[in-house]
Amino acid sequence: MMYKYRERDIPPPTINEIHLSYDANRKIKNAFQSLRLNGDNAWLNARDWLGSTIQHAISPSQLSALVKFKQDPAKTALIIRGLPIDSELGATPYGGYLAPEKTPVATGCHIGIYQLMQIEPISYINENKGLLFRHVVPSTKGQQEKSSHGSIHTFGHHVDNPDLPLKPEPIQNESRCPEFLSLMALRSDLKVRSNFILLDDIINNLSQGVIEELKKANYHIQRPDSFGQAKITRLPLVVCGPDGVLSCRYDKENTTPLTEQAAAALVMLEAQLKNGQIKNDITYQPGDFLIIKNQRVLHSREGFRSRNDGADRWLIRLFGMSSLDQIISINNASPHIGKD
């Protein structure tokens, strides 16, 4: 018998797409391209205006779709297509860092969309050097890594920052695992496919016994390479909240089962990650924006060889939370940066 993934009667998960018009694209680009704001805090301080600018450019139905994404537990992935990008991008930043003012259009779109969704942009002090934006590029030194800065090897299905507490779990001395994750494409490589799989689609194909094993703390979760410190924690892979909604921390590269039963359950979960019927493939085009509920969606990227010619694939990542209560801030001056 297959497991009923929720205790409440919530509609099946859906994936919405929003397509911006030419006029909306132009209005947003014209408003953002001359912005000169320096540093993460300056952009966060301007988010009301950034959100208002996007709101006045898009249609009421598109605004409604943005707002409902956060509120509706059945909506776990949303794709926005046709956002403007900066005309003068410069070379792909292989070092993994670029000041947000160097891409004012992309930065403004990212912060403005989060503002309309009422999502708080956040970062972690020991991950990505505490910076809001991570540039997902093939690093010159890290191409062999299985991470967002790697390229040659396939980056397996995962939830970002999985060793941190999931939404149903209490927080004490460390911030919670990111609730939202977004990726905006500035440069594409049509040979590189990414995909994401909704947790609910996986759970619907697993037996109740397998799910119960995944909910036991019989897995070692290693802290990802994007953090500046090593750490291994014993945790469950799946946690059920009081609302009956499941959260997941699976990470292909950083999960080790500790019992025979845990290993068997992991095999069943990983079999579903190869199920073509529930995979959602995406080949990013410039101006594409994917936002997912990080603990409710597993995402991956195929391996590829970068050309190192300044025009390689380039995405920008941002994390978000429903509220800053989900993180333990490092200080009052930068409340969006959480301890980890």
Continuous segment of H or E residues that includes residue 29: helix 22-32
pLDDT higher than 90, residue 116:
yes
**Domains of the chain listed by start with CATH number:** 14-204+282-338 (3.60.130.10)
Predicted confidence (pLDDT) per residue in 57-79, tens digit:
999 999 999 999 999 988 999 99
pLDDT higher than 70, residue 247:
yes
Question: Which amino acid makes up residue 320?
Answer: G
19 assigned ligand-binding residue: no
Other Cβ atoms closer than 10 A to 92:
21
Residue 259 DSSP class: S
Alpha carbons 101 and 329: distance in angstroms, whole number: 24
pLDDT higher than 60, residue 142:
no
Chain Cα centroid distance, residue 275: 21
Q: Which residues lie below 8 Å from residue 318, measured CB to CB, with a gap of 6+? A: 110, 114, 121, 132, 133, 134, 181, 182, 184
Mean pLDDT of 308-327: 95
Q: What tokens appear for 74 in the block?
A: 């059945």
CA distances from 48 to 4, 116, 119 (A): 41, 9, 12
pLDDT of residue 6: 43
Alpha carbons 104 and 86: distance in angstroms, whole number: 7
CA distances from 268 to 34, 205, 263 (A): 51, 9, 9
User: pTM of the predicted model, to two decimals?
Assistant: 0.91
